Structure 1
């Protein structure tokens, strides 16, 4: 672990490689698990504001779940998250013709319908953050469904922190990321 500003960062994001391999996993992270995607409180307002613009990009099942549960829900842990369809996939998931799960929010963004890409937690994955009173923890979340992403990352020699660079800058800023790169230079794996 090391500190950058008010963050405590796991060295695992420097030492492990990762590149999403959607052809192998089919976007399983958006479908598997018991909870929706974690949301910052400010993101809950965004989801409500952009829903009408995003709705045309969503599946009927997702629309039904959102309209019944709301654009966001409070999880069992008391934190905000995206609603689920039948306690399974995220309500914002859409599927490509080859059954790869994709983010309907991101599809709307890419089509120019919104200016918001997707929840930062999704953008950061496999990095997870947790807010504490004095600092933010920045950790690597290991999940066996991402084994193909780890293998591809290793093959391409792309460390996690490089793979999620845009998301880390979005969350913490360019200066923070530049400091992370300096730490990585001193890490023998990087």
Structure 2
């Protein structure tokens, strides 16, 4: 376990190797789960304020679920989450021509219409963020079957999870945090070589 400020990070975040292989998994993390994407309190506000910008990128089914359930809903286990279509794909998700699930929020951002990329829980995946009263915990939790191609590609490219997720980690915790994590990783691997 690695501790930086009040963040506890599992060793796997620096040891495991992972690179999303969307052509193989088809963005399955956007439809495989017990609820929609977990949302931070400020992300609910972002959805409220920017929904009209996101709306044109959404599917008819996703829009129907937003009308029916709201832009977000409360789940007893996961807290505030995005709604899903028939308990599967996130209401903000859509499939591209290759069958890969993409995010309407992220597409609006990529098109320069929105500064918010997507929920941080999605951006950090396969790192799961949980909070206690004193700490924030970061654990590496890829899906066993669905993420096998990503684990294989990460090993092939020799890219640790934390490096693959640098943008997301910096977005959530800042450059100084990422630099500290990178330094811990360097020291960790130097120690293993001894």
Where in structure 1 are there 5+ consecutive unaligned residues?
Answer: none
Distance in 2 of aligned mates of 1:48 and 1:64: 16
Deviations 1:155-190 (A, max 9, x none): 001100000001001111111111001100012279
Instruction: Write the mapping of 1:11-50 to structure 2, written as runs, cut at 5 A.
Output: 11-50=11-50
Shift of the 185–78 alpha-carbon distance from structure 1 to 2, 3 Å rule, reads closer
Q: Aligned pair 1:161/2:148, yes or no?
A: no
Q: Which residue of 2 aligns with 1:64?
A: 64
Aligned match of 1:109:
109
Residue number in structure 2 paired with 1:73: 73
CA distance in 1, matches of 2:24, 2:137: 30
Following the alignment from structure 1 to structure 2, what is the Cα–Cα distance between the partners of residues 24 and 77? 29
Deviation at 1:77, TM superposition (A): 1.6
SS in 2 for 1:166: helix
CA RMSD of aligned residues (A): 1.3
Q: CA deviation at 1:68?
A: 1.1
Q: Which 4+ runs in 1 deviate beyond 2 A?
A: none
Secondary structure at the aligned position of 1:187 is classed as helix
CA deviation after TM superposition for structure 1 residue 33, in Å = 1.4
Offset of 1:96 from its aligned partner? 0.5
User: For the residues of structure 1 that align with 2:21 and 2:142, how far apart are their CA atoms?
Assistant: 15
Contact 2:127 2:142 in 1 (8 A): no
For residues 14 and 118 of structure 2, what CA distance do their matches in structure 1 show?
24
User: Structure 2 stretches of 5 or more lacking a match?
Assistant: none
Measured in 1, the distance between the counterparts of 2:50 and 2:141 equals: 29
Partner of 1:5: 5
Match of 2:147, SS state, is: helix
After superposition, the Cα gap between the structure-2 partners of 1:121 and 1:98, relative to the gap in structure 1 and judged at 3 Å, is: same
Whole-angstrom distance in 1 between the partners of 2:78 and 2:177: 29
Please state how far the C-alpha of 1:142 moved relative to its aligned partner. Answer: 2.6
